[in-house]
Amino acid sequence: MKRRDFMKKAGAGSLLAGSMVAASAIAGTGQKHKWKMVTTWPKNFPGLGTGANNLAKLITEMSGGRIKVKVYGAKELVPAFEVFDAVSRGTAEMGHGAAYYWKGKSEAAQFFAAVPYGLTAQEMNGWLYHGGGMALWMKIYDRFNLVPAAAGNTGVQMGGWFNKEINSLQDLKGLKMRIPGLGGEVLKRAGGTPVNLPGSELYTSLQSGAIDATEWVGPYNDLAFGLYKAAKYYYYPGWHEPGSTLEAMINKDAFSKLPKDLQSIVMNACKVVNQDMLAEYTARNNAALHTLVNKHKVDLRPFPDDVLAKLRQLSDEVVAEVAAKNKLTKEVYESFRTFRDQVMEWHKVSEQSYMRAREL
């Protein structure tokens, strides 16, 4: 009898201990996390800024409020180009921007935003999610205590706004143009002067003559900024940004503290926003272009073929030289180039052939 009583008490104790462990586990998964997200974009700016807002909203809703994300636009908490450092050191748990802004930190980072004559949005997603690109991106950012994720895409951008006609490569010589990343290096090779400015300064810089030209995104955003009031000529295509991927960067320490389900929620929310932003730009750009051309009488022009061909040649030279700077950048470049060359062959018989057939 004493033995049975002891076993009953021991069993009850085990159940109680198990219940306490379970309760503790439940309490742990229910822990609240308050995160700050800093962005390189003006607060609530259409497409880019609202994309960051959508990401914060999704994470908060999908987590049932276990992660609450507050968004700070450029200059609200930190300047636009200090977002990377702010998230790296933990001033904010998340950031939203574009990886080519951080070429001073890592030359290889540029391949995860936009490469001249590189991958379109659809191709970029293929490389990142199923072609090894994401693993390389994580490898690069790990050194900075960051976890990266694709969190938006604008699709093929416009070539930009110019205050003079571009009839030959000679017209690019001496041109002061706001153009970031590898595209800026190509312009420099062509004789121009690349300038890196945040979006909030584009209109005044173009209007005052501080710059002669600017690229931004495309009709949707360019109309919102009123760039048509500051420049006469609107050129296409955006050879420098064929599928610009936006990024969410997450402080690695903050991410590691999350339970697995919340980590999954954060990363999948980024995927949702990545797809949704591309859909939004596809829908909004065509309507905005119609307004620019028909209401505001914008002079819409294609770059001459010989200019595009020369820029392609210079782009190949610049990208290859950047890739040769260090082992890690070369590794990223080789992966990127191999995927691009292969997917181009597929798209010749799929996307491109269909587009041609549709115009017959």
CA nearest neighbour of 221 among 244, 196, 195:
244
Q: Examine the domain organization and report whether 172 and 42 are in the same domain.
A: no
Q: Examine the domain organization and report whether 109 and 140 are in the same domain.
A: yes
Task: Provide the pLDDT for residue 4.
Answer: 52
Q: Examine the domain organization and report whether 180 and 211 are in the same domain.
A: yes
Q: At what angle do helices 327-349 and 305-323 cross, to 10 degrees?
A: 140
Please count the residues of the chain: 360
CATH number at residue 180: 3.40.190.10
Task: Provide the pLDDT for residue 199.
Answer: 81
Q: Examine the domain organization and report whether 175 and 301 are in the same domain.
A: yes
- Quick check: is 357 in a domain? no
Q: Examine the domain organization and report whether 235 and 250 are in the same domain.
A: no
Q: Examine the domain organization and report whether 211 and 104 are in the same domain.
A: no
Q: Examine the domain organization and report whether 151 and 171 are in the same domain.
A: no
Q: What is the pTM of this model?
A: 0.87
What 3-state DSSP class applies to 221? helix
Six-digit token pair at 85? Answer: 């450092």
- Quick check: is 345 in a domain? no
- Quick check: is 325 in a domain? yes
Is 98 in contact with 246 (CB distance < 8 Å)? yes
- Quick check: is 353 in a domain? no
Cα 88 from Cα 124, distance rounded (Å): 25
DSSP E strand boundaries for 167-315: 176-178, 193-195, 213-214, 233-236, 245-251, 299-302
CATH number at residue 134: 3.40.190.170
Cα 28 from Cα 17, distance rounded (Å): 16
- Quick check: is 4 in a domain? no
- Quick check: is 191 in a domain? yes
- Quick check: is 292 in a domain? no
Q: Examine the domain organization and report whether 169 and 214 are in the same domain.
A: yes
Task: Provide the pLDDT for residue 5.
Answer: 53
Six-digit token pair at 304? Answer: 């001459």
Tens-digit pLDDT string for the chain (360 aa): 454 554 455 454 444 444 433 333 443 457 999 999 999 998 898 999 999 999 999 999 999 999 999 999 999 999 999 999 999 999 999 999 999 999 999 999 999 999 999 999 999 999 999 999 999 999 999 999 999 999 999 999 999 999 999 999 999 999 999 998 899 999 999 999 999 888 889 999 999 999 999 999 999 999 999 999 999 999 999 999 999 999 999 999 999 999 999 999 999 999 999 999 999 999 999 999 999 999 999 999 999 999 999 999 999 999 999 999 999 999 999 999 999 999 999 999 999 999 999 999
Q: Examine the domain organization and report whether 228 and 191 are in the same domain.
A: yes
- Quick check: is 60 in a domain? yes
Amino acid at 278: L
In total, how many domains does the chain have?
2
Task: Provide the pLDDT for residue 19.
Answer: 41
Is 244 in contact with 41 (CB distance < 8 Å)? no
Query: Which secondary-structure segment (H or E) carries 69?
Result: strand 67-72
Q: Examine the domain organization and report whether 58 and 102 are in the same domain.
A: yes
Strands in 245-251's sheet, in edge-to-edge order, are 67-72, 33-39, 94-97, 245-251, 146-153
Cα 162 from Cα 227, distance rounded (Å): 10
Task: Provide the pLDDT for residue 16.
Answer: 40
Q: Other C-beta atoms within 10 Å of 28: how many? A: 9
Specify whether the backbone of 44 is left (phi greater than 0), alpha (psi in -120 to 50) or beta.
Answer: left
Q: For the chain, how far is it from start to end, CA to CA, in angstroms? A: 93
Q: Which residues, in sequence order, are CB contacts of 327 under 8 Å at separation 6+?
A: none
Q: Examine the domain organization and report whether 256 and 233 are in the same domain.
A: no
Task: Provide the pLDDT for residue 15.
Answer: 44
The whole domain housing 171 covers 160-239+297-340
Query: Which secondary-structure segment (H or E) carries 36?
Result: strand 33-39
Q: Examine the domain organization and report whether 89 and 206 are in the same domain.
A: no
